[in-house]
């Protein structure tokens, strides 16, 4: 069987391109930062049930309490936070262990990058619950 170098080169280039594309799309972090990225990805897509699934149990208790919040109020907050679903990227700036908390609780600093070029910086508490990182309430 004759080996054709240009076929091998084409295959290597295709693999390199696929690798670059998958790492760019799969750039979501693991751990606490990944929870923040997943949360804001769902929120940006107006998939509020999926976003709520990333909340800690304590946060869900507050959000789902009809005396404290309503689905309409949550949706309004989400639309305001995401600038009507225009988040282009969520960048994790850093994480810091929360003093006095279990080692599975951290504070994540992150930036929301919007399609108009603006950037907003926030912090959110993130806790590991049942082996998954969950986001707490944050302003």
Tens-place pLDDT, residues 24-83: 334 457 899 999 999 999 999 999 999 999 999 999 999 999 999 999 999 999 999 999
- 16 pLDDT higher than 60: no
Beta bridge partner(s), residue 112: 90, 120
Q: Which of 113, 123, 106 is nearest to 31 (CA)?
A: 106
**4-8, 50-54, 70-74, 125-129: the lowest-pLDDT one:** 4-8
Assess if residue 127 is contained within a domain: yes
Query: Phi, psi at residue 112, to the nearest 5°?
Result: -100, 120
User: What CATH number corresponds to the domain at position 57?
Assistant: 3.10.450
Assess if residue 3 is contained within a domain: no
Q: Give the model's pLDDT for residue 3.
A: 53
Assess if residue 24 is contained within a domain: no
Q: Which of 129, 69, 138, 76 is nearest to 107 (CA)?
A: 138
Domain that holds residue 61: 29-135
Assess if residue 14 is contained within a domain: no
Domain count, the chain: 1
Could you tell me the two tokens for 23?
């790492």
Assess if residue 90 is contained within a domain: yes
Pairing type for strands 132-135 and 105-114 reads unpaired
Measured at the alpha carbon of residue 22, what is the angle toward residues 94 and 25, in degrees to the nearest 5? 50
Q: Give the model's pLDDT for residue 100.
A: 64
Assess if residue 102 is contained within a domain: yes
Instruction: Report DSSP letters for 74-106, one per residue.
Output: HHHHHHHHTTTT-EEEEEEEEEEEPTTS-TTEE
Q: Give the model's pLDDT for residue 97.
A: 81
Q: Are 127 and 136 in contact (CB under 8 A)?
A: yes
- 11 pLDDT higher than 80: no
Q: Give the model's pLDDT for residue 104.
A: 78
pLDDT in tens, 90-100: 999 999 887 66
Assess if residue 23 is contained within a domain: no
């Amino acid at each position: 069987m004759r080996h054709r170098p240009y076929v091998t080169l084409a295959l290597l280039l295709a693999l390199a391109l696929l690798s670059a594309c998958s790492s760019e799309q799969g750039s979501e972090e693991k751990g606490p930062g990944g929870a923040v990225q997943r949360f804001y990805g769902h929120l940006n897509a107006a998939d509020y049930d999926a976003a709520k699934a990333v909340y800690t149990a304590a946060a869900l208790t507050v959000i789902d309490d009809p005396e404290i919040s309503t689905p309409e109020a949550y949706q309004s907050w989400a639309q305001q936070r995401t600038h009507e679903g225009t988040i282009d990227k969520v960048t994790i700036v850093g994480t810091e262990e929360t003093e006095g908390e279990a080692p599975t609780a951290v504070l994540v600093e992150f930036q929301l990058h919007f399609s108009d070029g603006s950037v907003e910086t926030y912090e959110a508490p993130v806790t590991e619950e049942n082996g998954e990182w969950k986001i707490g309430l944050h302003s």
